[in-house]
C-alpha cells in the first residue's frame, strides 16, 4: 500500500490498521447492508479507516460504542454528541479526538446488546478469515463482549478494507480465538462471506498472559467474575501454585475502622485543591459484608491498596493508594465488582480541601460522575 501510494494519513501504515485512499467511499457501502439499516447499537473500532462508519452511525442516530485504546480504561465508551449537534460537530465526534471528548464509559453491568460489530483489518479473505495487526485486541474485545453478554454468535461482524487487502488466507493460520467476519466492504465491492466458522465463544484464559492481565484492568474484573462462577481461568504463564489466589500475593492489608466519615473531596472528578485524589470510594456494600470478603476480591483483581478504611455499618469503604494513578487504575479494574448479589459503586473519592478542619461529613459521589463505573 505504501509502495503503490494507496495509503492515507497516518503514514507509514506499518504496525497499524492501515488507512487508505477511498476509505470514506468504502464506509458508505455499509448503507447498502440491511443489517446496518435495522440495527440500533453499533460497536465500531477506533481505527482511522472506520471514521466514515462512525459518522454514519451518528448521523443515523444509532448508539455508537467505541473500544477504549488498548482497553486500558475499560471495554468501550458510548459516544454522545451534544444536543442539536451540527454535521461538523458529528464529524468531530467520529474522530479519535471526538471519541475522547464526547464519550462516557460503559460499565460491565450496563446490559449493552450490540447489534453490529465493525472491525479494522490488515488483510481479509473472501471466506471471512481475518488478520489484524497482530496484537489481538479486536479478538479480545469480541471475546470480552461475549463474556458480558453483549454479543452472540448471530451478531454480524463487518470489516472495511482496500481492495488490495482482500487476499487468500490459509485456514490453517486461524485459531479458536480469532474473529471472523460476515461482510467485507471495499471502495468497489460489498462481499458477503457466508462464513460458517464459529466465532469466539468467550475468553480463552489459557491464551492470556500475566503481562496482558496487568495491562487491562477490566480483564481482571471479568476473570474474577468467571472464577466466582466456577470457570477455569488459568492463565498462559501463571505458576500452578498461584491458581485460585490471583497472580500474586500482596502483603496483608491494614484496616482502619472509623466512627465518622473521612473527609471527601469537594469535586466528584477526583481533582481537588490539593491535586488528584489517591483514594477510591466503595459504596453499596451488602449489609452483611465482611471486610475479609472485600480484601479477597481486591487481591484477586490486583487492586490492593496501601490501606483500607472500613465503614461496614454505613455500607461503604475507602481504599487509599500511594499515587493518584494507582487510584485511577483501581477504579477501572473494579468496574462491575460484586459482593454477593450487590454490584458495588466505585468512584474516585473527593479530595479534602486544604485547611478544612470542620469535620463535616460527605455524601456519596454524585451518580452522574464520570469516575463512577456502576449503573452506566
Look over the chain and give the mean of its residue pLDDT values, rounded to a whole number: 80
Grid coordinates in use for 22? 477511498
pLDDT at position 272: 42
Confidence class for position 238, pLDDT limits 50, 70, 90:
low
Share of the chain above pLDDT 90, in %: 36
Report how far residue 322's alpha carbon sits from residue 306's, in angstroms, rounded to the nearest whole number: 7
- Give the pLDDT score at 63: 93
**Highest mean pLDDT range out of 34-48, 134-148, 251-265?**
34-48
Residue 355 has pLDDT above 50, yes or no: no
Which CA distances in Å does 145 have to 115, 149, 222, 226, 342? 12, 6, 10, 13, 22
**pTM (two decimals):** 0.67
* CA pair distance 184, 165, nearest whole angstrom: 10
DSSP string, 159-198: EE--GGGB----GGG--TTPPP-SEEE-SS-EEE----SP
Q: What is the pLDDT of residues 54-85, one digit of tens each?
A: 999 999 999 999 987 666 666 788 998 998 89
Q: Which domains does the chain have, with CATH numbers?
A: 2-192 (3.40.50.10420), 279-348 (3.30.70.330)
Residue 62, classed as helix, strand or coil, is: coil
Amino acid at each position: 500500500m505504501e509502495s503503490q501510494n494507496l495509503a492515507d494519513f497516518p503514514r507509514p501504515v506499518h504496525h497499524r490498521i492501515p488507512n487508505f485512499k477511498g476509505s470514506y467511499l468504502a464506509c458508505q457501502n455499509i448503507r447498502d447492508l440491511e443489517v446496518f439499516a435495522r440495527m440500533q447499537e453499533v460497536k465500531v473500532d477506533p481505527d482511522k479507516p472506520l471514521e466514515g462508519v462512525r459518522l454514519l452511525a451518528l448521523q443515523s442516530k444509532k448508539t455508537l460504542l467505541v473500544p477504549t485504546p488498548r482497553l486500558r480504561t475499560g471495554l468501550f465508551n458510548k459516544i454522545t454528541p451534544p444536543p442539536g449537534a451540527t454535521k461538523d460537530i458529528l464529524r468531530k465526534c467520529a474522530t479519535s479526538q471526538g471519541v475522547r471528548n464526547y464519550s462516557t464509559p460503559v460499565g460491565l453491568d450496563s446490559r449493552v446488546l450490540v447489534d453490529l460489530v465493525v472491525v479494522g483489518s490488515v488483510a481479509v479473505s473472501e471466506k471471512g478469515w481475518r488478520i489484524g495487526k497482530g496484537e489481538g485486541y479486536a479478538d479480545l474485545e469480541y471475546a470480552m463482549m461475549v463474556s458480558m453478554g453483549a454479543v452472540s454468535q448471530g451478531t454480524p461482524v463487518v470489516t472495511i478494507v482496500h481492495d488490495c487487502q482482500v487476499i487468500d488466507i490459509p485456514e490453517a493460520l486461524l485459531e479458536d480465538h480469532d474473529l471472523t467476519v460476515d461482510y467485507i466492504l471495499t471502495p468497489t465491492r460489498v462481499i458477503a462471506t457466508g462464513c460458517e466458522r464459529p466465532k469466539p465463544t468467550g475468553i480463552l484464559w489459557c491464551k492470556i498472559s500475566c503481562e496482558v492481565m496487568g495491562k487491562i484492568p477490566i480483564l481482571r474484573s471479568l476473570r474474577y467474575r468467571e472464577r466466582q462462577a466456577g470457570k477455569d481461568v488459568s492463565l498462559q504463564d501463571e505458576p500452578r501454585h498461584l491458581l485460585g489466589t490471583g497472580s500474586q500475593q500482596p502483603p496483608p492489608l491494614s484496616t482502619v475502622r472509623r466512627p465518622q466519615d473521612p473527609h471527601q473531596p469537594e469535586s466528584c472528578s477526583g481533582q481537588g485543591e490539593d491535586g488528584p485524589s489517591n483514594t477510591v470510594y466503595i459504596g453499596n456494600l451488602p449489609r452483611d459484608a465482611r471486610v475479609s470478603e472485600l480484601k479477597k476480591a481486591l487481591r484477586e483483581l490486583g487492586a490492593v491498596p496501601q490501606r483500607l478504611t472500613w465503614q461496614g455499618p454505613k455500607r461503604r469503604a475507602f481504599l487509599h493508594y500511594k499515587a493518584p494513578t494507582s487510584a485511577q487504575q483501581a477504579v477501572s479494574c473494579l468496574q462491575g465488582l460484586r459482593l454477593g448479589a450487590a454490584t458495588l459503586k466505585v468512584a474516585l473519592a473527593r479530595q479534602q480541601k486544604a485547611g478544612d478542619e470542620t469535620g463535616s461529613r460527605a455524601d456519596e459521589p454524585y451518580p452522574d460522575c464520570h469516575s463512577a463505573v456502576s449503573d452506566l
